[in-house]
Structure 1
Amino acid sequence: MFDVQSDQLQSYIDSADKQKSLYKRTLFIVSISQIFGGAGLAAGVTVGALLAQQMLGTDAFAGLPTALFTLGSAGAALFVGRFSQRYGRRIGLTAGFIIGGIGAIGVIVSAIINSIILLFISLLIYGAGTATNLQARYAGTDLANNKQRATAISITMVFTTFGAVAGPNLVNVMGNFAFSIGIPSLAGPFILAAAAYILAGLVLFIMLRPDPLVIARSIEANQKSNDTRASTTREYTEDKRGIIVGAAIMVLTQIVMVAIMTMTPVHMRHHGHDLGAVGLVIGFHIGAMYLPSLITGILVDKFGRIVMAIISGITLLVAGLISAFAPGDSMILLVIALSLLGLGWNFGLISGTALIVDSTEPSTRAKTQGTVDVLIALSGAAGGALSGMIVAGSSYSTLSLVGGILSIVLIPVVIWARQSKK
């Protein structure tokens, strides 16, 4: 079932060197897939709202594409998590990326035939790529020790940057290419997304052998059988708290980031910015979401998950304030605001993810991680859907202020976690 023979499993159980070697190899393979995955997710972020605005003829539902593919990612997160738990990371992640690529192809077709219904269905399916791209960060932690986990997460996210930054900056190129072959220009980035997601899936399917989660589960089972003194009662209580706090951190940061990010392209278009300028700002934003990851991971491992979660909330608050009060025609301030928005999300995601990994065991890890990512995806869907309504009913500034204020809820959450441990 797992493409790993029993003698091969035993060789990894018995050899710390082989475990270390597989840990490094897994990080390398997952990082390659993340380059393609990053390019795939960037399409929906950059032009999803603009495509819906064009096809629907109103701003009120411009946040709907983000809500839809984020909602789709919720179902996919559950599927990928449970599939990975049963069949291993390789099969689960491969399936998720391929399904996301199929969704991107559906978006292209919907733009060609101008079908709103097909667009919405395709965006839901496209969300599988987003969920898988996030779930891939867990694969690098399966064989990491407690002091390596945040760093392992960060390494895979750094490589996401290459594709995620390139994607928005290829908006005009892909738009022109699409137009030249008779496809609406706003659907152009989804051509890149389809190819990128499918390539990410193929990389994992071909190269992720042996499966790191399968090896980690075998090592855990062997350790338990050799340690009759192990007691899980106390650990279970600590694990439950850690899962709750880790999930809360990621849910809050996701709501704030998605809401403000979703309406920024529409806000910029209203103030006369062209697609190139939109791509540049979103490129900085996505770069800030992923590029600082290596440093963030080191900081999280060194100073702790709770400290970095508090810094996440403060950073998101500053981002919200700047985007709320920045003139709409100021590219510099928009770049700063969206960069801080991405950075605050980065701090929250890595510290929250590390808490989840700390609080789970290989035997249940993938399933729990998938369930937590469902909550993250649903919160992003809510943020995306409400963002358009808030802007239509009030303004982009109001949306940014609400997001900034919401972000500081992180602080009492993590203070509660710290006090509970005393």
Structure 2
Amino acid sequence: MATDLTEPRTAARLDFAPVQRRTMRLLFTTQIIGGIGVTIGISVGALLADRVAGTALAGIAQSAGVVGAALLAVPVTRIMARHGRRPGLVLAYTVGAVGGVLVVLAAATRSVPLLLLGMLLFGGGTAANLQARYTAVDLAEPARRGRQLSLIVWATTIGAVAAPNFAALADRVTTGWGLPALAGPFAFSAAAFVLAAVVLLGLLRPDPLLTARRLAAADAASVPDGHGPVAAVPSGGAAAATAPGPTAGTAGSPAGGGVGPAAAPVGARAPRGAGMRAAWSVVRAQPAARLGIAAVAVGHLVMVAVMAMTPVRLGESHADADVLRLVGIVLSLHIAGMYAFSPVVGWLTDRLGRRAVILGGVGLLLAACAVAGTAGHHTPRLSVGLVLLGLGWSGTMVAGSTLLSESVSADVRPSVQGFSDMIMGLAGASAAVLSGFVMQVAGYPVLTLLAAVATVPLVALALRPVPTGAPDEEG
């Protein structure tokens, strides 16, 4: 009898591994392309907004991109929940490309409303890059979730670190074509997003999320009545252990032993009720999910608040001839901190536990605010602060995303992930909006101080005792 129960699940394990390897290779490639698209635009976004709309509105323009990424998370994840990852990612990149084109037009016409709309849609590129990290763990083995998620985060490094240094070249080339100053990088961003969308549309087959659901349904069907389905297959791979008992399939009831939450048996599509309202209900009832979302949101808020005004800070003490070059160098170092060490962060997340890495990330964010805020106009010291800022963001992002993904059941997982990205985006957008006003009224040091204070609620939440065997205790 044991053989009859084991063989279907063994076959499923053998089938999903090649799909996961192919998916990882494809995501790695498109993350490089998408990273170039997002970063080459962001690197000059504050400067362009400053010239078109003024310093006070520069933060609003920057925040429009963050708001766009947050708002797009809702329709994108709804599409993913119903039809899989591929159409959602393609839609997000396409919207980002349209946004890049509109920003170029706004620079040419000096139109503030068009600039804000373009930046809003430009957030589609960011939304796609963020959702790709969840795509990486749809078929991941439970013990490797943190590492495989972090590998896709790391892939962004290759394009993102180099992109700011090409901003000046792109600007010179496109100025020769007749485009306004600082608009050229956004034209290159639009082209990169189109390329990423085309590659995913043609090659992300079979869809990893739909494949994971089919494996979950097949494994659940192989278990006789009275036993629960195989746990966490949609996010943890087909090798997850069986989770018997009445709690199997209940949203937000994680299985012990690091396997992940019990997953309700599902087919190729999510239930229609698995929207943002269902996501909020699950998150509210699950402490581990709340911690995961808080880590991602607060880390992003602090990073955006400090990073968004750093180009303006550099512009205070450097001439136009030098500022683009210095912005490229400083932001490249910052982005290297965000992404280059993410595989190490992922390994530590699997090894030490999610909560420990979240707290470590908060510590790095506080150090970053202290260093950057006291740097004055000393560019090397400011660069060190931005590197620490990136490292802290990586810790909260990788550990928080991993914790969130394994803390909820399969039927609402895409919606909860989209809900998390929406909260993260709105937190970052609020920081970007306020950063411009704080910068103008009180200056950069006060901005970094307020960013540091914003970590206090996350620290309090992370230090709360949790039940033994909860996901944030696992390593």
Confirm or deny a common fold (TM above 0.5): yes
> Do the aligned partners of 1:143 and 1:212 also contact (CA within 8 Å) in 2?
yes
Query: Which one has a bigger Cα radius of gyration?
Result: 2
Q: 1:373 aligns with which of 421, 435, 459?
A: 421
Q: SS at the partner of 1:132? A: helix
Structure 1 pair 417–141 and aligned structure 2 pair: CA distance change class (3 A): farther
Q: 1:322 aligns with which of 362, 367, 371?
A: 371
Q: Is structure 2 residue 345 aligned with structure 1 residue 296?
A: yes
Q: Is structure 2 residue 247 aligned with structure 1 residue 233?
A: yes
1:202-213 matches, within 5 Å, as 202-213=198-209
Q: SS at the partner of 2:365? A: helix
1:125-144 matches, within 5 Å, as 125-144=121-140
> Shift in Å at residue 327 of structure 1?
2.1
Q: Is structure 2 residue 69 aligned with structure 1 residue 86?
A: no
> Do the aligned partners of 2:292 and 2:404 also contact (CA within 8 Å) in 1?
yes
C-alpha separation in 2, matches of 1:152 and 1:408: 30
C-alpha separation in 1, matches of 2:114 and 2:10: 49
Q: 1:311 aligns with which of 360, 364, 377?
A: 360
> Shift in Å at residue 369 of structure 1?
0.8
Greater shift in the superposed pair: 183-192 or 407-416: 407-416
> Shift in Å at residue 44 of structure 1?
3.6
- Corresponding residue for 2:307? 261
Q: Is structure 2 residue 39 aligned with structure 1 residue 42?
A: yes
Q: 1:361 aligns with which of 382, 385, 409?
A: 409
1:157-168 matches, within 5 Å, as 157-168=153-164
Task: Give me the identity figure in percent.
Answer: 33
CA deviations over 1:126-181 (Å, ceiling 9, x no partner): 11111111011111100012211111111111111111112111111011012111
Q: Is structure 2 residue 296 aligned with structure 1 residue 250?
A: yes
- Corresponding residue for 1:406? 454
Higher relative contact order by CA 8 Å / sep ≥ 6: 1 or 2? 1
C-alpha separation in 1, matches of 2:392 and 2:44: 23
> Do the aligned partners of 2:251 and 2:409 also contact (CA within 8 Å) in 1?
no
Greater shift in the superposed pair: 208-217 or 58-67: 58-67
- Corresponding residue for 1:384? 432
C-alpha separation in 2, matches of 1:22 and 1:70: 32
What's the TM-score once normalised by structure 2's chain length? 0.83
> Do the aligned partners of 2:40 and 2:166 also contact (CA within 8 Å) in 1?
no
The structure whose residues are more often helix, as a share, is 1
Greater shift in the superposed pair: 373-382 or 216-225: 216-225
C-alpha separation in 2, matches of 1:90 and 1:361: 21
> Shift in Å at residue 205 of structure 1?
0.9
Q: Is structure 2 residue 265 aligned with structure 1 residue 219?
A: no
CA deviations over 1:293-323 (Å, ceiling 9, x no partner): 1111111011110000000100000000001
CA deviations over 1:239-289 (Å, ceiling 9, x no partner): 522221100011110110000000000010001151100111011111211
- Corresponding residue for 2:109? 113
Q: Which residue identity is paired with 2:215?
A: I
Structure 1 pair 215–322 and aligned structure 2 pair: CA distance change class (3 A): same
Q: Which runs of 5+ in 1 are unaligned?
A: 1-10
1:334-349 matches, within 5 Å, as 334-349=382-397
- Corresponding residue for 1:8? none
> Shift in Å at residue 201 of structure 1?
1.1
Q: SS at the partner of 1:61? A: helix
> Do the aligned partners of 1:258 and 1:383 also contact (CA within 8 Å) in 2?
yes
- Corresponding residue for 1:155? 151
Structure 1 pair 232–178 and aligned structure 2 pair: CA distance change class (3 A): farther
> Do the aligned partners of 2:253 and 2:408 also contact (CA within 8 Å) in 1?
no
Q: 1:181 aligns with which of 173, 177, 181?
A: 177
Q: Which residue identity is paired with 2:94?
A: I
> Shift in Å at residue 335 of structure 1?
1.1
Q: SS at the partner of 1:63? A: helix
> Do the aligned partners of 1:213 and 1:362 also contact (CA within 8 Å) in 2?
no
Q: SS at the partner of 2:137? A: coil
Q: Which residue identity is paired with 1:18?
A: D
- Corresponding residue for 1:14? 11
Q: Is structure 2 residue 23 aligned with structure 1 residue 26?
A: yes
C-alpha separation in 1, matches of 2:168 and 2:73: 31
Q: Is structure 2 residue 393 aligned with structure 1 residue 396?
A: no
- Corresponding residue for 2:63? 67
Q: Is structure 2 residue 48 aligned with structure 1 residue 51?
A: yes
> Do the aligned partners of 1:52 and 1:62 also contact (CA within 8 Å) in 2?
yes
CA deviations over 1:372-416 (Å, ceiling 9, x no partner): 111111111001001011111101000011112322432221112
> Do the aligned partners of 2:348 and 2:357 also contact (CA within 8 Å) in 1?
yes
Structure 1 pair 64–168 and aligned structure 2 pair: CA distance change class (3 A): same
Greater shift in the superposed pair: 375-384 or 223-232: 223-232
> Shift in Å at residue 109 of structure 1?
1.2
- Corresponding residue for 1:192? 188
C-alpha separation in 1, matches of 2:289 and 2:246: 16
Q: Which residue identity is paired with 2:50?
A: Q
> Do the aligned partners of 1:81 and 1:92 also contact (CA within 8 Å) in 2?
yes
C-alpha separation in 1, matches of 2:219 and 2:407: 18
Q: Which residue identity is paired with 1:326?
A: A
